[in-house]
Amino acid sequence: MWPFGKKKEKVDLYDVRTQALEKALGPMHDMVIHAVIPFFAGFDMGGRADVYIFKQHLDGVVYVTGDLLGEKQKPSDAGNYELMICHKTDSDWGPRLISALAYYTLDEPINSGETMDIGDAAGPDTEITAFLFNKYTELDFMGKKAGLMLCVGITPQELEYSQKHGGKQLIEALVRSGVYPFTDLKRTSVV
């Protein structure tokens, strides 16, 4: 017997994260987008979050960061959370952006209804210039509340609408138009 009481078993965070995500989104695709420099190396060293792929949750592709659950983030309405982005087809743009954005969540809170200017990150051939965040679902992660924070690409007109009427109203408009929960770099504004 361990002399100081019951010996704690080492927890494999990858397995625990995967189980929590698969419970919410269905089976994970067999490919993971691994960061060239791992998350634990730090942002300044070029570290990025791994991104998991889910293709059975909805009619499109769901990308979710895979390094934030279990990390100390600034408090959010989603609890401890992973970032999520959805596209109608395979994309490298969205996963690359949420992989880099993951570090931001360790320093600043992200809550539902908030927006973030993404500047030129979307590229020159799109009207998407910002993200609207929305708590997509709750997860049970090691007996604690956790969640998925959806990032939805929005246009300058939608950003202005959100600032005037609130993020919840914009989410409702995106749902009515059939855009939500997807980020489509080729679409026009719904407001």
- Torsion angle, CA of 11/14/16/22, rounded to 10 degrees? -170
Tell me what pLDDT residue 8 has: 52
The token duo for 48 is 């990025």
Residue 141 has, within 13 A of its CA and on its CB side, a CA count of: 27
The token duo for 155 is 């246009």
DSSP-based three-state secondary structure for 143: coil
Question: Do 184 and 87 contact (CB within 8 A), yes or no?
Answer: yes
Tell me what pLDDT residue 6 has: 54
Tell me what pLDDT residue 98 has: 97
Tell me what pLDDT residue 124 has: 84
The token duo for 57 is 């949750």
Instruction: For residue 83, give the nearest of 56, 118, 59 by alpha carbon.
Output: 118
- Residues counted in the chain: 191
Give the Cα-Cα-Cα angle 124, 67, 130 (nearest 5 degrees): 25
pLDDT tens digits in sequence order for the chain, 191 residues long:
445 555 555 567 888 999 999 999 999 999 999 999 888 888 888 899 999 999 999 999 999 999 999 889 988 999 999 999 999 999 999 999 999 999 999 999 999 999 999 988 888 889 999 999 999 999 999 988 899 999 999 999 999 999 999 999 999 999 999 999 999 999 999 99
